[in-house]
Structure 1
Amino acid sequence: MKISVLTVCWNSAATIRHTVDSFFAQDHQDKELVVVDGGSWDKTLTIIRSYPQDQIQLISEPDRGMYDALNKGLRLYTGDAVGVLNSDDCFHDQTVLTRISAELGRADIVHGDLDFVENHLNKRVVRRWRAAPRPAKGFRTGWMPAHPTFYVKRKVAESVGAFDLSLKVASDYDWMLRAVELHGFGSATISHILVDMMVGGASTRSLGSYIGHNFEALRSRRQWLRSGPIDYALVAKPARKLGQFLSKRFG
């Protein structure tokens, strides 16, 4: 199974080497890295072009943000399955794509564990995200997978379509919701840390972005799941994240 990994970047010279190194370290050989760059003027492109290019697709041009760039990646990738690795994140170890490929032999969608780390040098864990199987009511319960661990077969990506550019910080949540809840695809969890994610992403870098993400997620549930103006997941979703912080602090 050929697995395509989408990486969006813009002036990411400080972190992109960790990301690309972790891709090339994978023991799964049938893979490609699709890098969609927003027109970097630092050394990002020089770093990417220093790697063997036979497994890299690279485009560099202005875009309308991360989700627009991901939509470009969805149009470009050639694999049997696809997922996203952010330009300041990396695969946890060399077995990740092998594990994903094996589980995609049994399910249409897979996701797994993730560690939030301070940086990729000290690997100090700030928060742990441990995957759980989809509950009976899915996203209505506050459950969601960790997007950097979320891989789908091509038929899923084609059914879901593009990321919604009207959502500024929760379009990944909306995309996963549509994949899991609307088309009847089966999902499986991988009980293994798949990604080391640096803290400070778009939905968590400030209180305002965190609140914005939760209300955009509510908007997605109202659109696709017919949730009310306020629903259970609006409280349960942040509560699940609090549990992740506590598991790191006291676990």
Structure 2
Amino acid sequence: MNHPRISIITPNFNGETYLEETIQSVLSQDYPNLEYIIIDGGSTDNSVSIIKKYESQLAYWISEPDKGLYDAVQKGFDQSTGEIMAWINSDDLYHPKAFFSIAEIFKFNEVNWLQGIPSTFDEMGRTVDVSGIKRWSKLDYYLGNFEWIQQESVFWRRSLWEKSGSKIDVEMKYAGDLELWLRFFRYEKLFVTSALLGGFRQRAKGQLSLEFLDQYMEEARTKIKEELECNLPKEEQDLVRKIKKYNATISKFHFVFIKKIANKVYFKGIIKQKKHYFGYPSVITFDRLSQNFKINK
């Protein structure tokens, strides 16, 4: 099996409570071509002592003041060299052997951006929720249906990162991941797999996603509006407007058979264009007999 280099970044600031568990979830993968980088923002708790316990297994680490989460993530990626890239925050976790699944899936040339099936950990590190498979199109974002591409289980090729500017928006306070996904959507489709890769730790308090959700949503909607108005090709802008009008019209029909007739007679062209510009990629699943992942065409 080919083992492309996987670069993982962990940003941290005063995260001693869960940091070691996150580090162990990365290193215990036993993946032979791992580049693990930790960027600490000048923590005043026990974080640095925890990092030093594992420094012989790290490609790079530093502890110095930064401008926040996304500044730390950017610093980490600037130090990275791997063909496949991702970041995991210092309270979240990867599932066992996830990196081997990732390496196998990225052998498919058409896969440049990947999300595992979303999962949730609790404060004890137990897996307490696994969501159903949801396929994504950039149209979902343009229509405001952006909840959520799970950052903790997302991986991408360096070529996509470079094509998208080799940067994360360090001015963003909350929705930097969403802003990055918007730029990725300009060039690639997001493949999803039924495999468990990474998960989000849901805490009862002291978590940005809980305490600043309204601010995240405001940043997200602002960025989506900006993308629609400033970066979409005109033909896609026009099609999004048509689809919004179509959705508003079709929602007024209360009977399924009427909707089917309307789609076939009046909206066939829009539906065809929608599939062309905003179609979903196939789901990647695991084949029991071959013991390999496959793209369901």
What range describes the TM-score normalised by the shorter chain of this pair? 0.7 to 0.9
Q: Which amino acid aligns with 1:173?
A: L
Runs of 4+ in structure 1 deviating by more than 4 angstroms, as ranges, are 200-203
What 5-or-longer segments of structure 1 have no aligned partner? 233-251
What displacement does 1:202 show?
5.0
Q: How many residues align?
A: 223
| Structure 1 residues 163 and 202, CA gap change in structure 2 (3 angstroms) | farther
2:224 pairs with 1:221 = yes
What displacement does 1:186 show?
3.9
Tell me, yes or no, if the aligned pair for 2:70 and 2:170 is still in contact at 8 Å.
yes
Candidates 147, 153, 178, aligned match of 1:149: 153
What 5-or-longer segments of structure 2 have no aligned partner? 230-236, 245-297
**Alpha-carbon distance between aligned partners in 2 of 1:6 and 1:48, rounded to the nearest angstrom:** 13
What displacement does 1:68 show?
0.7
Candidates 38, 43, 55, aligned match of 1:40: 43
| Structure 1 residues 131 and 28, CA gap change in structure 2 (3 angstroms) | farther
RMSD: 2.3
Q: State the TM-score, normalizing by the size of structure 2.
A: 0.69
Query: 1:132 — aligned with what?
Result: 134
**Alpha-carbon distance between aligned partners in 2 of 1:40 and 1:86, rounded to the nearest angstrom:** 15
**Alpha-carbon distance between aligned partners in 2 of 1:174 and 1:202, rounded to the nearest angstrom:** 20
Candidates 72, 76, 86, aligned match of 1:73: 76
Question: Which structure has more RCO (C-alpha within 8 Å, separation ≥ 6)?
Answer: 1
Q: Quick check: which has more Rg, 1 or 2?
A: 2
Q: What is the aligned-residue identity percentage?
A: 23
Candidates 89, 92, 96, aligned match of 2:92: 89
Secondary structure of the 1:45 match is helix
Q: State the TM-score, normalizing by the size of structure 1.
A: 0.81
Per-residue displacement from partner, 1:75-103 (whole Å, max 9, x unpaired)? 1111111101110011122x111111122
Query: 2:167 — aligned with what?
Result: 162
Tell me, yes or no, if the aligned pair for 1:114 and 1:128 is still in contact at 8 Å.
yes
Secondary structure of the 1:59 match is strand
Candidates 206, 210, 214, aligned match of 1:205: 210
Candidates 166, 179, 183, aligned match of 1:178: 183
Q: Which amino acid aligns with 2:163?
A: S
Tell me, yes or no, if the aligned pair for 1:31 and 1:55 is still in contact at 8 Å.
no
